[in-house]
Every structure is written in C-alpha cells, then in structure tokens.
A = this chain, B = another copy of it.
Amino acid sequence: MIVSKASMQLSKFGKKITNYSGILELMDDLGRAMSGKEKKYMLGGGNPAHVPEMQKLFRKRMNEILNNKREFENIISNYDTPQGNLDFIEEFASFLKGQFGWNVTSKNIAIANGSQSAFFMLFNLLAGDMPDGKKKKILLPIVPEYIGYADQGISEDFFVSCKPKFEIIDKHAFKYHIDFNNLKITEDIAAICVSRPTNPTGNVVTDEEVDKLTDLAKKRGIPLIIDNAYGAPFPNVIFTDASLKWNENIILSFSLSKLGLPTSRTGIIVAKEEIATALSRANAIISLANGSLGQALIMPLLKDGKLIKISKNYIQPFYAQRSKQARKWIYKYFDDSLPYYIHINEGSFFLWLWFKDLPIISHVLYERLKKRDVLIVPGEYFFPGVRDKEWKHMGECIRINFGAAPVEDVEYGIKIIADEVRKAYNNRKKMAYSQNKSD
C-alpha cells in the first residue's frame, strides 16, 4: 500500500489563514500566562481586569439563573436563532433607543461569537473578490489599528491604510491624528473601519474626525465600521468626552469581553437591516448559533440600567486609575533622557509606547522581555495595510496592558521594559563609540 508521507496540502485560504500571525502569538502567550502554570508578568494580550464589583454582579446573576426554575437548563440546552437570542435582541434595541434615541429595532441587530468572528464575516462579506471580477479593500483611515484585523481577509491585499499625523504633546507624550490630506477613498474601497477607543494606542479619534469619516463614507455609499469594544456606554473604558453616533451608514460593534466576559464570546453588531440579516445568514453557515451565556448574564442588567451605572462608577475609574499609575511608573523607571513617548491614553486598557530611533525592532525587544517573563505585544503587528514596508516607526512601538495583571506585576514589568529599552539604546551608543574609536 502506498502511504503518502507528503506534508498536508493546504488551500490558498488555508495557507493564508494559518500563517503564523500576531494575533496567534498574542493569544497563545496570553492563554498560557492566564493558565498560571508559570509565573509571567502579563502585560501582553487583551485580557480584561477582574474588576471586583463587576465580578460580584456576574456571580450574583449566575446564582439568580440557577435559582430561577429551569432558567439554567434553558440557557445551556436550547439553541438560539443564528441572529442571537430573540429576547436579548429586543432588549438591546430598546436599550439603544432609550440611551441614544436611535431609530433601531431588533432587525438592526446581529449577535456573533465574539466581535472577532463578527469582523471576519463583515470584512469578507463586503470586500475581497467581487462578483464582477474586481477586488475591493477595507480602508483603515488611521494606523496603528487592531492586530486582530490584520489577517482576517480571505484574499490577499485586503486592507489599505493611511499613515497618521503625529502631534507631539510634550517631551514624552504624543497623539496620532487621521491625516485627511492623504486619505484617499478610491473606487476599490468597500468600507472604512476604525476602532474607537483604538486598540492598541488608547487614542480616541475625535468627534470631528468621526464626522468627517461619516461624510466621506456617505458620499461614497460605503459603510463606516466603528469598533466600540472599549467605548461608551459599556464597558466605558474611555477617559475623554466623545459622542457615539449611529445611522444607517454606520456599522457599530459592541462587545461583552471588556466588561469581564471575554470567554462568553459575545459580539453585538448594530447596522442597517440588510447588513444585520447578511451577518445572521453567514453566522448560520459558519457558526450555526451563538453561545448564550453572555447574553443571559447581561440581559437584566441592561434592563434596569445597572450595566451603565457600574460601567461609569466602577469600570471607568478602575482603568483610569490603573492608567495613571502605569504612566507614573514609566516616568519613574524610564531614563528621562531617552526619546520615549507615551500615546496619550484616552481610552482602552493599553499604553502605547513609542521608542524613537530604537536600535532594535520591537519583536526583538518582545523576545528579550519574554525571556525575563515579561509579556508585551510588539508594535509591528498593528500596522495592517501599510504599503511603505520601510516605515521604521512600525518597529519602534510596543503595547502594554495595564489592566489585567496585579499592580505589582505591572510595576515590575515596566521596570524590566525600561531596563531592556535602556540597554538597547546604550548598546548602540557603545557600538557607535567603539566604531568611532576604531575609525
């Protein structure tokens, strides 16, 4: 019998989707660190913090589910529709109406197994190979942008992005802005997408910028996708005033992950009916149905307003305080003479650090830190769609999560990062010096 020993043949999709990706590295590091088998200083990944008040609430609600006659059994054993749980969807539509006065019904809502899965469907529904043989792309009007988008296109060359403008705020602070002068919305753009607050930078694209994007999208008859995973009104990890808008041209994405329910895999999309329906149809084929627990845990908290209150009174202050503290440690441990910059932190639970002219690329820094048990995410993964592969800024940044690890671990992690960054800069000085001497 001839037994083929040849390596497995993968399809084009298979080759693309199984490439070693940033999001794989990040999630693998994270999952291993969270399993707690080895001591790690977990400043990588996007695990939310265990905010005590939130966890008390979830525990209470779980007990309530167990005490309500057959509620537990119905939640674990009865499939919802591919659109999601019908009661939850109704409730969520009322919630949006009540909060914002939007003209939203249950037909505008689609639930997915996490927003990662929702974006996979959304991006590929809209862009890629078109029926007329043309190709369309997703435009990221500003980078850095979420690492998880980067490999989601089924076809090649899926994203195009625009380098940001830099606002240097002070010696160690900066902010990115959308560079509207260089933002081209060509014929091959299927949709515009921005996360706000932005993962990884903690940037909040201004209301004015969003209005401009909305106008541009509307003029071209393409949707503007806003990923609101960290935004208001829940989890409300946002430290600046920013308004949330929705209309039929906007696709808005919410997530339960950052409330503290990442393993419930619950993403919520609000869009015009045509898009919500398309998502439900795709969801039936790709996922069959959604996990139900997240929706069940949250539903009464939407109804009685607790979710909003606790987001405002506990989640927001928790992360704001953590953010402040982390920045203090950076100022403390980093050599003031080094050209480091922290992106101003307007939201999310990440600090984005830029080491100007860093002599090593950030993935090398990541590896050196990992050897010392400090996990971070190297910055170069956060630049999907950048055509200028030589742009050295992409290798000069890192993202750190200041929310998930115990405070003493965050402090220790920052200390080690400062140490490795200093060494990297100093090595170059030394090398330059010895080169000068031998000249």
* A interface residues, Cβ below 8 angstroms from B: 1-15, 17-21, 23-24, 27-28, 30-32, 34-35, 37, 45-48, 50, 55, 58-59, 62-63, 66, 72-73, 75-83, 85-87, 113-114, 116-117, 120-121, 124-131, 136, 148, 151-152, 154, 190, 215, 218-223, 260-265, 274-275, 277-278, 280-282, 284-293
Contacts and interface: CB of A to CB of B under 8 A. Distances in A.
Contact of A265 (B121, B154, B215, B287): B287
Contacts of A28: 81-83, 284
15 contacts: A2-B219, A3-B221, A8-B223, A12-B128, A13-B125, A15-B131, A17-B124, A24-B82, A27-B289, A28-B82, A35-B78, A62-B62, A75-B263, A114-B288, A114-B289
A87 to B, nearest CB: 7
Given A81-B28, A282-B18, A11 B126 contact: yes
B288 A17 contact: no
Contact of A11 (B47, B48, B129, B277): B129
A281 B114 contact: no
Given A4-B221, A19-B281, A23-B285, 11 more contacts: A1-B215, A1-B219, A13-B129, A14-B126, A27-B82, A28-B81, A35-B81, A55-B73, A58-B73, A79-B262, A265-B287
A248 to B, nearest CB: 10
Closest 10 pairs (CB-CB, A-B): A4-B221, A31-B81, A116-B288, A14-B125, A263-B292, A24-B284, A34-B78, A18-B281, A11-B128, A291-B291
A47 B113 contact: no
Contact of A77 (B3, B50, B76, B125): B50
A154 to B, nearest CB: 6
A7 B222 CA distance: 10
Contacts of A264: 76, 291, 293
Contacts of A78: 34-35, 47, 262-263
Given A117-B113, A261-B77, A274 B8 contact: yes
A113 B32 CA distance: 19
B86 A73 contact: no
A37 B7 CA distance: 52
A18 B116 contact: no
A395 B117 CA distance: 34
A59 B50 contact: no
A24 B83 CA distance: 10
B289 A87 contact: no
A55 B14 CA distance: 39
Contact of A124 (B13, B73, B80, B130): B13
Given A27-B288, A265-B290, A47 B278 contact: no
A39 to B, nearest CB: 16
A72 B66 CA distance: 14
A263 B47 contact: no
Contacts of A5: 221
B291 A263 contact: yes
A114 B287 contact: yes
A17 B113 contact: no
A85 B37 CA distance: 12
